[in-house]
Amino acid sequence: MKRKLYFFVLPLITTLLLTFVFTLNQVNAQDDDNITIGQRVTLHSNVLGEDRVLWIYTPALYETSTNQYPVMYVLDGGFHFHHATGVVQFLSTQGIIPPMIVVSVLNIDRNKDFLPTNVENIPTSGGADKFLEFFNDELEPYINKNYRTEPYEILAGHSFGGTFAAYTLLTRPETFDAYIAISPALWYDDELLVKKAETFLKDNTDLKKIFFMTLGTEGDRMQNSLDAFVKVLKDKAPAGLKWEYVSMVNDDHGSTPHKSIYEGLEMVYPDWKLNYNDPDLTIEGVDEHYKGLTAKYGYEVAVPEYVINILGYAQVQQGNLEEAIKIFKINVEKFPNSANVYDSLGEGYENNGQYELAKKNYLLAIEKGEANSDSLLPYFKQHLERVQQRMAE
C-alpha cells in the first residue's frame, strides 16, 4: 500500500485496494520476457495406468510467503485453466475469496473419466469410479504433499464434467468441500443421477457440503433433467447441504463456464470480504471476522497482511497516528519477513514526525525487499530518500 496518504485524491480504501491489486498483478509478471500463470506437471497414475498432465496455478505471493491455500480442481483443464485462474486471481485480489491454488486436469478420454456407467452409444463411458479413485488416492495426496494447501477443496466441472461433479457429491461427498456443476448432463443414462439423488439425500441427513449448479438455454433434454434434479434438492436436501441453482438464460452450453465459476466461488465464499466502509471497523472486529471464517471453513484463516495495513492507513488519514503505528507494529509482528510491513510502519512514523524511526524501518524494508526481489522496492527507496531529505531540512 505504497502511495502517500497526503497525496490521495481517491477515497482511502478504494486506493489501497487498487494498489493491492496492481501489486499482485506486477508480481505475476516478474520475468522481463514472459508472463507465466502456471506450471505443467506430469503425474503417473497407477490407478488409471497412464500419465496425466496437470496445469497448476499458484497465487502471486506463493513464492515469497509461507501461506497455505485452498485448492480448486478444474476438469477439462485444457479448456478452462486460463479463464478459471483469471477469475480466481481477480476475485481474490478484490478480497471476495481467498487466494487459492488451481489444479487443472487435462483430458485423455473425458467420456471414460467423467461418466459413471457404460452406455451403448458412448463406448468408453463408465470410468468415473476409477477417476474418483485417482483423485482420492493419487492426485489430492500429490498436491497436498508438494504444495502448501489448506484442507479445503473445490471441484469445478462443465458438461460431462458437471455430471462427474454431481456424481461425486452423491457417491463420495467427502472428496471435496464444495462442488460447482456447470451445465451438467443430468439426462445421462436415463437420468441416473436424479434417481441416485432421491435415495442418497434421504439417507444422508448429516451431509454438510456446498453445491452450486448452472444451466444456460440448452434445450429441453438438458433443462428437463436439471429441473427434476432441482426438485429432488428442494424436497430432500438436508439442512447442511447449501445449494443453489442459477438459470443463465442469456448463455448457451459453451458460454456458461466463466460466469459459473465466478458466481460459484461467490456462493462458496459469501461472507469472506470485510466491510471496509464500516466506520466502526476495528482490529478487534477484524479478528472476530476471521475467527468466524475459521469456524465456517474448518481451518485457521489468518488476518491477511494487507487488511491490517488498510486499517493502519485509515487511522493515519484520520490523524490517529499513535493508533496507526500500533496497528502497523502488529503487522510487523505477524509478518516479520515482509518488506511492505516495515515500509508501512515507516510511513506511520514519518507522518508522526519521528524521522529516525521512519528511516530505520525504510532501511529494513529495502533490505528485505532486495532479499525477496520485492516488486515494490522502488517505492521503498523513494520513501527513504524522502525522509532523508526531510531530516536534512
Site of grid cell 481477480: 90
Site of grid cell 491454488: 101
3-state secondary structure of 43: strand
Domain boundaries, the chain: 37-268, 283-392
- Residues 352 and 325 sit within 8 Å (Cβ to Cβ): yes
Rounded Cα distance between 67 and 150, Å, is: 9
Radius of gyration of the chain (CA): 24
Q: What's the CATH code, domain 37-268?
A: 3.40.50.1820
Instruction: Provide the pLDDT for residue 25.
Output: 47
Handedness of CA 82, 87, 92, 98 (dihedral sign): negative
Closest CA to 391 of 370, 360, 369, 367: 360
Q: Which residues of the chain have pLDDT under 70?
A: 1-32
Instruction: Provide the pLDDT for residue 31.
Output: 54
The model's pLDDT over 246-269, given as tens digits with 9 standing for 90+, comes to 999 999 999 999 999 999 999 999
Q: What's the CATH code, domain 283-392?
A: 1.25.40.10
Residue 287's CB is within 10 A of a number of other CB atoms, namely 11
CA 139 to chain centre: 19
Closest CA to 181 of 84, 246, 85: 246
Instruction: Provide the pLDDT for residue 393.
Output: 86
Q: How many helices (H) and strands (E) does the chain have?
A: 15, 8
Entry pTM: 0.89
Q: Which stretch of DSSP H or E encloses residue 251?
A: none
Look up residue 270 and give its three cell numbers.
459469501
Instruction: Provide the pLDDT for residue 2.
Output: 39
Would you say the CATH fold of 283-392 matches that of 37-268? no
